[in-house]
């Protein structure tokens, strides 16, 4: 029970930091710590923990969103499910390259899922926000990929420095 309270607090703090702190800084506005955290948790601790965090982060992020309830939960669950499948079947080792490729795939899936959700809900008349895909969108998208890659690289090397024999643990885990 204490573990789940800890998960709820971590999720709430991360969503709060993403919405309030990084959203206010122009340089870090495109950094998506929630997505990078979910990908990292999914890789390091497995799908079960990633599933719990995807539910919690999606729930808390929906509180700050104009999208209908559950949209972020579905998007995050779909992303971690696909990335878990890719990690177990394609990228079978815990290397910096596999992590970075998974962050690129996750960021692309996230951005285009959000675009699709906004477009579908706009057509249905549930929201009045329409996202224009122009030069500014593509610039923001490329910054988001770069910043997410930098954050994942930092998390990867921090994990390598703090956790001894990380590769051996992952080889025995499978």
| Long-range pairs, 125-132, Cβ under 8 A, ≥24 | 126/68, 127/66, 127/67, 127/68, 129/66
Q: What is the pLDDT along the chain (174 residues), one digit of tens a residue?
A: 888 899 999 999 999 999 988 878 888 889 999 999 999 999 888 899 999 999 999 999 999 888 888 999 999 999 999 999 998 888 777 778 888 999 999 999 999 999 999 999 999 988 888 787 889 889 999 999 999 999 999 998 888 887 755 555 454 444
pLDDT of residue 174: 44
pLDDT of 107: 95
Using CB atoms within 10 Å of the CB of residue 10, give its burial: 0 to 12 exposed, 13 to 18 middle, 19+ buried.
Answer: middle
User: Between the CA of residue 41 and those of 47, 48, 136, 152, what are the distances in Å?
Assistant: 8, 10, 31, 11
CA-CA distance, 47 to 33, in Å (whole number)? 18
Full-model pTM: 0.86
Give the per-residue pLDDT at 61. Answer: 92
How far apart CA 153 and CA 9 sit, in angstroms, is 25
- The reported pLDDT for the residue numbered 82 is 94
Residue 46 is predicted with a pLDDT of: 87
Exposure string over 110-126, b if 16+ CB within 10 A, otherwise e? bbebbeebbeebeeeee
The per-residue pLDDT for range 14-36, each reduced to its tens digit, is 999 999 888 788 888 899 999 99
Domains of the chain as residue ranges with CATH: 2-170 (1.10.1760)
């Amino acid at each position: 029970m204490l573990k789940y309270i800890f998960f709820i607090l971590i999720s709430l703090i991360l969503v709060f930091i993403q919405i309030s702190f990084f959203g206010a800084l122009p340089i870090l506005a495109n950094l998506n710590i929630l997505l990078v955290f979910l990908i990292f948790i999914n890789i390091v601790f497995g799908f079960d923990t990633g599933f719990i965090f995807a539910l919690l982060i999606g729930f808390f992020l929906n509180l700050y969103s104009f999208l209908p309830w559950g949209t972020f939960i579905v998007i995050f669950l779909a992303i971690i499910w696909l990335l878990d499948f890719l990690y177990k079947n394609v990228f079978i080792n815990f290397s910096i390259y596999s992590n970075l490729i998974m962050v690129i795939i996750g960021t692309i899936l996230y951005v285009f899922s959000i675009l699709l959700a906004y477009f579908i809900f706009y057509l249905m008349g549930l929201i009045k926000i329409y996202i224009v895909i122009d030069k500014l969108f593509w610039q923001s998208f490329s910054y988001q990929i770069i910043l997410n890659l930098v954050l994942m690289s930092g998390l990867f090397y921090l994990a390598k420095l703090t956790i001894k024999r990380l590769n051996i643990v992952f080889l025995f885990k499978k």
